Structure formats: C-alpha cells, structure tokens
Structure 1
Amino acid sequence: MDNDAQPLAPLLRKLISLGPVTQGEVAATEALPLTLCEYRPGYEIVRERDRPAQACILLSGMCCRFKIIGDGDRQINSFHIPGDMPDLQSLLLHQMDHGLLTLTRAKVALVPHPTLLQLVAAYPRLGLLLWRDTLIDGSIFREWMCSIGRRSARVRVAHLICELFLRYRNVGLVEDMTMPFHLTQTHIGDAQGLSVVHVNRVVKSLKRDGLISLSNRRLTIVDWESLTQIGDFDEAYLHLTPES
C-alpha cells in the first residue's frame, strides 16, 4: 500500500497481521477522519497525567512510552514503529500514567476517541483486533521485565534486536535481513536498564562477532540463528499469526 495514497497503510498492515480483515473493515478504517501531524525528535506527543481526547497512529518514524522517576532518570517502557497506536489505552483510561515521546522525526495521525468508539461499535471485529494488539503489548512488557530482571547485558541487547526485526518485518519494513534502526545507545540503555558504556561495549561485541552490521541508520542481521541463541529469543511472546 502506498502511504501517499493512503496514510493509514501502516495501520492497515498491522491490523491484517493481527487477523482477518474484510474489505468493508478496510474501507471503514480508511474513512476515519484524521489530523495529520509531523513532529521533531524529542517531542512529547502526550505527557503523563494528560487526558487525551484523541488517539495517535504512528505513520513513520519511531516513538517510545516512558516515565521519569524521582531522581530525573528516564525509563523507556516500549518502542513503537509505524502501524502502532501507542496511546490506544487512553480510549478507556482517561488519564495517562506515562508519556509518549518521538525518538525520530515522526508522522502521526490523530483520531478523536468518539470516532474510534463508533468504528469498533460498527465493526466489532476491528475492536477485537485492537484488543489483541493491546494484549500483545502486555506480552512484550512481560518479556522486557524478564530481560531487565534476569538477563545479562549482551542477552538483553541481542533479544531487543531480534524483537524489533520481527516487528518491522511484520509490517513490511524489512528488506532481506535489514531493518531501520534509529535507536541511539542512550535509548537502548534507558529501555534495558544499562549504561551507555555498557551498551556500547555490547554492540561492538555483536558487530565484532559477525552477528550484526550497522550503517546509515540501518541494521543488518548477519547471523540470525546465532543472534537468537545469544539473545535467549523465542518469538512466541509476539503472537505472530502464520500469515504474518
């Protein structure tokens, strides 16, 4: 699907990866009234304690959910790629308990909450697919807890790379074994509970061992089997369908 012709193409790819979608459901999704926005890196789309009246759909770029803890340090709770609706929970939880931050230049579509509620009332299966998506979010949170609590730094970083690769591939943004990679070492450290020095050491070791290569904000996985072994990676928690 062409993003210029249909701005919601990333969301439609995501929905189709979650389960069967009819032409009527596609048409209803494409007909959603949108406010299209472009944000610079480091822009807070939503702040903690906000009460949003609309949900955002990430069309391009990357963003993250995050919290600032008492001493001012940042904990990144999740990374989001095109097709994701990272503040969908605001549809039912009326106050945000975290912020949503762009990590790159990002294009976003904003959809009013009442419109989304009308869509899922008219097309209940779309509501189930969005529910499935939030359940998968929860599964990813649980896996991140295991990484931060029990895995070594090298395992954590390898695991994260494997996860992002499959998520990008799931929405058609991988070429061969190469994916977009906009994360800095600070982003990875804030997500995985590691210092920048530690992340730098791990990334260098993965490159030195011939597992990955990095160039121009693109990451290529050179040895998938070895990387998954090092990362203790089992894709079951992503709940990918056979079609995706």
Structure 2
Amino acid sequence: MPSAPDQHAMTMVIRKLKSIAPLLDTDRRAIESLPVRIHNLDARQDIVRDGDKPSHCCLIIDGWACRYKLLSQGKRQILSFHIAGDIPDLQSLHVPTMDHSLGTLTKATVAFIPHDSLRDLTVRHPGIAAIFWRDTLIDAGIFREWLVSMGQRSAFEHVAHLFCELYLKLQAVGLAGNYRCPLPVTQADLADALGLTSVHINRVLQEMRGKTLITLRSRTLVIEAWDELLRISEFDPTYLHLERRAAA
C-alpha cells in the first residue's frame, strides 16, 4: 500500500493531468500504483543537469522549479517555471540526453519515477500516453508564447502576460484563487526568464503597483485588476488548453 507521501505525490500529478484532459478511473488507479522515491531538496539545487542521461522522471510535489540553460560566462536563461503536479523532464522518456538543466527555485519536495515504470504504464494505458503527449504539446505552446513575448511584447506587457499565465496554471491545480497566488521567485529569476535586467523588472513592478494592477509582497501576487492585465498583455489562455478551471 502506498505511503502517505507517495499518495500525495500521485494526488498532485492526477490533479495536474485532470486540469488538461479527462482521466479515467482505471488510469487514475494505474498512476497511483507507480513506484516513487521522495526527496526533499533545498532551494537552488539541480535536479538533473544539461548532458545527464537520467533513468527517471521528476514529479514536483511541492515548491517551484525551473528549466534553464547556463552559458559559459555564467549567464542563465530560464526556459519555464514549474509547480506542483508538473513533470518537467517527461521528454527524457524518449530523448535520453538532457539538453538543459532542471533545478529548484525554492525548497521543494520531488518524486522520482523510474523510466521503465512510466514506459510500462503508457504501453498498458494508451489514454495516459495520450495525456502525457498532450502535456508536452501544451509545453510547446507555452514556449511559443514565451518566444512571442521575448520578441514582440514590451517589458510591461511581458511581465503582465507571465503573471496571467502563472495565475491560471496555479488556479487549475487548486493552488490559487480570488486572483491571489504564490510567487516565490526573485526579481533576478524573473529577469532570467524574461530576458530583462533585474533593474528593469523592478521598474515594471513599481509601475504595475503604481497603476494598482498588482500587489506583490511576502512571496504572494495579488492581481488587483485582472481584466486590465488581460487587456494590456493581450492574454489569450487558449495555449494553456485547460480542461478545467476553478472559479477565480
């Protein structure tokens, strides 16, 4: 019988998968039976590194993580943020060598799931394989939106767009509501994700506060003017393909 931490791990991934696609009871039970190893990690700790050949996938149970690339001069580009329920290195099932790193941004609890167990699961349950495929396709859609923001949105629009995205992703798995969500990342993290400087990020956040669009304190983001943030960033949630959204 799975232990309490194992059950919590599977609850989080099931919640995430149900937010993007219907999940049969038989598939849910199969996911719940997966073997996992639970690890508690410190903030700023690598989970898997560029060039590694992992034998397992990582499920985020609690805390935040990010995909990133590190250049030789020490410059970091954050490629995506990840929250509880995400399996950010799912592609390692089929692409054996990591072409980027995955690390924690905060203290985090993660579950390692063996590749062999996941491959067997997808063979026995094609519905789960389809949902995993959908998850990676949604990831690709998020990458496209980030690329548009990098190339065409102003810094103000870019930050606004990211805040809308993060809020909806957190809301979909029950980690946000009433236009309030955790945001336990630094201005340096935001700068590395958005291709801006920390000084520029600070100016944008100050302007957003001045316009009463957001409140940001104690690692919590409160969106004071949701419709205005949507309008400014031209945010269209279609690319997130959320099957289920809780009430705001």
SS at the partner of 1:100? Answer: strand
C-alpha displacement of 1:4: 8.0
Tell me if the contact between 1:17 and 1:171 (Cα under 8 Å) persists in the aligned partners.
Answer: yes
**Structure 2: how far apart are the matches of 1:63 and 1:131?**
21
Tell me if the contact between 1:178 and 1:218 (Cα under 8 Å) persists in the aligned partners.
Answer: yes
SS at the partner of 1:7? Answer: helix
Determine the structure 2 residue equivalent to 1:64: 66
Determine the structure 1 residue equivalent to 2:146: 144
Q: Map 1:36-47 to 2 at 5 A.
A: 36-47=38-49
Deviations 1:191-242 (A, max 9, x none): 1100000000001111111111122211111110001111221111111225
**Structure 2: how far apart are the matches of 1:8 and 1:218?**
26
**Structure 2: how far apart are the matches of 1:238 and 1:5?**
26
C-alpha displacement of 1:175: 2.8
SS at the partner of 2:13? Answer: helix
Deviations 1:143-186 (A, max 9, x none): 10011111111011010000000000111111311111111110
**Structure 2: how far apart are the matches of 1:110 and 1:98?**
18
**Structure 1: how far apart are the matches of 2:245 and 2:162?**
23
* Higher deviation after alignment, 15-24 or 179-188: 15-24
Determine the structure 2 residue equivalent to 1:135: 137
Tell me which of 209, 212, 223 is aligned to 1:221: 223
C-alpha displacement of 1:7: 2.5
Tell me if the contact between 2:18 and 2:243 (Cα under 8 Å) persists in the aligned partners.
Answer: no
Determine the structure 2 residue equivalent to 1:90: 92
**Structure 1: how far apart are the matches of 2:54 and 2:136?**
18
C-alpha displacement of 1:243: 6.0
Q: Does 1:236 align with 2:246?
A: no
Tell me if the contact between 1:181 and 1:219 (Cα under 8 Å) persists in the aligned partners.
Answer: yes
Tell me which of 200, 203, 206 is aligned to 1:204: 206
* Higher deviation after alignment, 206-215 or 193-202: 206-215
What is the alpha-carbon root mean square deviation over aligned residues?
1.4
C-alpha displacement of 1:3: 6.8
SS at the partner of 1:183? Answer: coil
**Structure 2: how far apart are the matches of 1:114 and 1:25?**
17
Give the direction of change, closer, same or farther, for the CA distance of 1:196–1:13 in structure 2 (3 Å limit): same
**Structure 1: how far apart are the matches of 2:243 and 2:15?**
13
Tell me if the contact between 2:22 and 2:243 (Cα under 8 Å) persists in the aligned partners.
Answer: no
Q: Map 1:8-27 to 2 at 5 A.
A: 8-27=10-29
SS at the partner of 2:9? Answer: coil
**Structure 1: how far apart are the matches of 2:244 and 2:197?**
37
**Structure 1: how far apart are the matches of 2:189 and 2:8?**
31
SS at the partner of 1:8? Answer: helix
Give the direction of change, closer, same or farther, for the CA distance of 1:165–1:5 in structure 2 (3 Å limit): same
Q: Which amino acid aligns with 1:213?
A: T
* Higher deviation after alignment, 103-112 or 232-241: 232-241
SS at the partner of 1:172? Answer: coil
C-alpha displacement of 1:72: 2.1
Give the direction of change, closer, same or farther, for the CA distance of 1:107–1:172 in structure 2 (3 Å limit): same
Determine the structure 1 residue equivalent to 2:180: 178
